[in-house]
Amino acid sequence: MAVYDRWHRDPRTGDEPCGCGTRRKPLYPSAAHLKGDRWQVRYRDLAGKQCKQNFALRIGVSPDLHADAFDAKVQAELDSDSYTDPKAGKVTLAKYAEEWRKSRTHGESAAAGLEGRLRNHVHEGERGSGRTPKGGVSIGQHAMSALARRPSLVAAWVAAMPLSDSTKRLVVGDVSAIFQAAVEDGVVTRDPTRSKSVDRPGPGRSKARPYSAAEIAGIAAGMPGRLAVVPYLGVGTGMREMEMAALGADDVIRGARPKVRVTRQLKVIGGEVRFAPVKNRKPHDVPVPAELVERLDAHMRRYPPVTVTAPWHEPGGKLHGTMLTVRLVLSRESGGAATKNVMDSAWRTAVGRLLASRVAERKGRRLASRGHGIHRTRHTAASAWLRDGVDVVRVAAWLGDTVDVVTKTYLHLMPDDHDGEDQGRAASAAFLKSCALSVPPEAPSATSGLLRVV
């Protein structure tokens, strides 16, 4: 590597010196004299490709401004195999993000969510506006290297994002994942979202809250007949919404120890119904009370299960595309499967009626409907199990989740284990008592423990 003077060259016969040098050290102009930046750093990257970059200044400490500093920086990176091509960082975040997004292996719903978050809260809406389609500050139009060098741009973007903290965390997490990939690709050297100057959204104050028995009964009363069992099914099994939609009549196991088998979920892809693996690929059985089985049986007598045949959707799986026939417990009025839109619409209507009645009861006091979704029945089931002392490992298995997620989500719902504390005290006391038996009844004298050396 070396730093070259673009403006000057070795003298040739008949050349006249320019005014850049001195009488003792004259300089002779090149064809690029006084054109562009004077100092040029030339080097070969890790792949052996010839690279160069020009600077107006030669001596200094900033690799962005001074040729000598840049030369030293690149040489150190090449020696440590950590070199990053400066030109690669000129790609905009929007362009790199779209290339990164299309290379991901997310499911359809997750991919759609990612695309929507980037389009609405990262990329620029109208060109030159500097704003996202949702009115926040956009950063997609900036070069990756510019954002990596100036975390203040990212900090301003996060601060102006018109979203709740929980949604902000998703969007910032998306952008962070993009920058992490860019670091590995050698496009940039750091992830600006992790800079100390960027205030990442906190965990938020909302906690999982269970429904009360009165609320479940009220919502069930407001649901259409074919879906009236959903609130009870949710709080009795902890199933996710689309797991309930895919529940088959044969998945209800009767007997002395009744249970519900959770093996699939329902999806709508391209307007067509599909069956798919449950989240986390964790099929599981949930023990249920006889009362819930009786309620399900009564529901199926009134509304016989609807037979639906649809392909299994598991890209890359051996059964992908295989047709599966299920006698679904839940159905829509037209006789087809109860899709998410159908269930959500019915639930919102039922919750609206419940809240309207509460407004009347509380003399016009407004109650928010936010947080009254179907997923809250899952919180209710987990709360009932944990408060009754069921081990968190079993609860995680019944929910088809991990112990870590269950602990983080429902820690505030777990009871204070006073019995466990007493057991711990008793165990420690017994051990300490046994230790005390080995202690001599009288303290040894200062010299009694010394050995006589012969």
Q: What is the pLDDT of residue 419?
A: 54
The answer on pLDDT for 417 being more than 60 is no
Percent of the chain with pLDDT over 70: 83
> Helix 108-121 vs helix 93-102: angle between axes, to the nearest 10 degrees?
180
224 falls in which pLDDT band (50, 70, 90)?
very high
Q: Is 237 within 8 Å of 229 (Cβ atoms)?
A: no
Q: Is 276 within 8 Å of 355 (Cβ atoms)?
A: no
More confident residue, 446 or 209: 209
Q: In this structure, is the dihedral angle defined by the CA atoms of residues 143, 147, 148 and 154, taken in order, positive or negative?
A: negative
The answer on pLDDT for 139 being more than 70 is yes
3-state secondary structure of 28: strand
Could you give the residue ranges of the DSSP H alpha helices within 317-375? Answer: 340-361
367 falls in which pLDDT band (50, 70, 90)?
very low
More confident residue, 429 or 72: 72
CB atoms within 10 A of CB 431: 10
3-state secondary structure of 366: coil
Q: What is the pLDDT of residue 128?
A: 83
317 falls in which pLDDT band (50, 70, 90)?
confident
Percent of the chain with pLDDT over 90: 49
- C-alpha to C-alpha distance for 207 and 346, rounded to whole angstroms: 25
DSSP state of 326: E
Q: What is the pLDDT of residue 370?
A: 52
- C-alpha to C-alpha distance for 8 and 32, rounded to whole angstroms: 8
3-state secondary structure of 52: strand
Q: Is 269 within 8 Å of 315 (Cβ atoms)?
A: no
Report, as an integer, the average pLDDT of 55-82: 86
Report, as an integer, the average pLDDT of 304-325: 93
**What are the pLDDT digits (tens) for 322-348?**
999 999 999 998 889 999 999 999 999
Report, as an integer, the average pLDDT of 158-176: 89
Best CA proximity match to 327, nearest among 229, 246, 244, 248: 248
Q: How far is CA 215 from CA 330, 354, 367, 380, 427, in A?
A: 21, 8, 14, 11, 43
Best CA proximity match to 147, nearest among 199, 190, 100: 190
Main-chain dihedrals φ then ψ at residue 56, nearest 5 degrees = -75, -30
Take residue 346 and report the two structure tokens written for it. 């019915």
Best CA proximity match to 192, nearest among 151, 152, 233, 161: 151
DSSP state of 279: G
- C-alpha to C-alpha distance for 110 and 5, rounded to whole angstroms: 53
Q: What is the pLDDT of residue 315?
A: 84
> Average model confidence (pLDDT) for the chain?
84
3-state secondary structure of 6: coil
More confident residue, 421 or 178: 178
Report, as an integer, the average pLDDT of 303-315: 94
Q: What is the pLDDT of residue 333?
A: 87
10 Å CB burial of residue 141 (0-12, 13-18, 19+) is: middle
Q: What is the pLDDT of residue 122?
A: 93
> Helix 108-121 vs helix 165-185: angle between axes, to the nearest 10 degrees?
100
Main-chain dihedrals φ then ψ at residue 286, nearest 5 degrees = -120, 120
Main-chain dihedrals φ then ψ at residue 393, nearest 5 degrees = -65, -40
Q: Which of 191-205, 350-364, 397-411 has the lowest mean pLDDT?
A: 350-364
Q: Is 400 within 8 Å of 282 (Cβ atoms)?
A: yes
Using H for helix, E for strand and C for coil, what is the string for 195-222? CCCCCCCCCCCCCCCCCCHHHHHHHHHH
3-state secondary structure of 174: helix
Element (H, E) at 306: strand 306-311
Taking each continuous run of H as one helix and of E as one strand, the counts in the chain are 15, 12
- C-alpha to C-alpha distance for 21 and 27, rounded to whole angstroms: 5
**What residues contact 244, with CB distance under 8 A and at least 6 apart?**
230, 233, 234, 237, 330, 343
Q: How far is CA 101 from CA 10, 136, 282, in A?
A: 51, 21, 26
**Domain architecture of the chain: domains with CATH:** 2-83 (no CATH), 89-194 (1.10.150.130), 213-382 (1.10.443)
